[in-house]
Amino acid sequence: DTAVSQTPKYLVTQMGNDKSIKCEQNLGHDTMYWYKQDSKKFLKIMFSYNNKELIINETVPNRFSPKSPDKAHLNLHINSLELGDSAVYFCASSQDGGGRNIQYFGAGTRLSVL
Amino acid sequence: SQKIEQNSEALNIQEGKTATLTCNYTNYSPAYLQWYRQDPGRGPVFLLLIRENEKEKRKERLKVTFDTTLKQSLFHITASQPADSATYLCALGNYGQNFVFGPGTRLSVLP
């Protein structure tokens, strides 16, 4: 069983569209994350979320919003997609927040905005 | 602002040699430092964690050092193999704070 799974693996869409990426973890972790990895391979955190707190990286446009229906899921909604949103998006989870916790990553979703 | 640098974007070494990757940081005092491996088309995979009060950590052919005075971590792979070829990322973290990842070093082990 895949510990952290995200769908779809590839997403190709037009500028201005709205899209969602789904993420599920079966590890029983309390904290989930979304990261963006751009063409230069820099991995930057976008959000971290547990059932108590959402921490947003202040550089993330408000067109991006995380939605968590329950502890095992953290979906990413993106409105009005722009060319610069093209990247690989990774979902991850950890036992709880903070730097001492190992993070488990999904396989990534490659988003291409045309 | 926090800054993390990893020695070089790419590193080529001969099979059997020891690969040494560096992670330097400024404007930060992490309590934890982690190393991850990322293969093409996949998410990062955890390798080792070292705490600020630890000097060295080992796991099989891997060794990590953490020098909080120099603000540097070294990651060693001994007896390297072509299967070790991947991108290696260091990540810094603190109590109750999120990780900050370095830009990564792409290691190629040549047969």
- Chain B residues touching chain A at CB-CB below 8 Å: 30-32, 34, 36, 41-46, 49, 51, 87, 89, 91-101, 103-104
Q: Which of B13, B9, B32 is nearest to B78 (CA)?
A: B13
pLDDT above 90 coverage of chain B, percent: 78
Read off the pLDDT of residues A47-87 as tens digits, 9 standing for 90 and up. 889 876 787 787 899 999 999 888 899 999 999 999 999 99
Of B36, B43, B100, the CB nearest to A107: B43
Question: What's the rounded Cα separation, in Å, for the pair A66 and A23?
Answer: 10
Do A98 and B41 count as a contact with CB atoms less than 8 A apart?
Answer: no
Read off the pLDDT of residues A10-46 as tens digits, 9 standing for 90 and up. 999 999 999 999 999 999 999 999 999 988 778 999 9
**Interface contacts A/B by beta carbons within 8 Å:** 70
Residues from chain A that touch B46, judged by Cβ atoms under 8 A, are 102-104
**Matching residue, tokens 């800054």:** B3
Tell whether the model's pLDDT for residue B90 goes beyond 80.
yes
- DSSP annotation string for B36-72: EEE-TTS--EEEEEEETT-SEEEETTEEEEEETTTTE
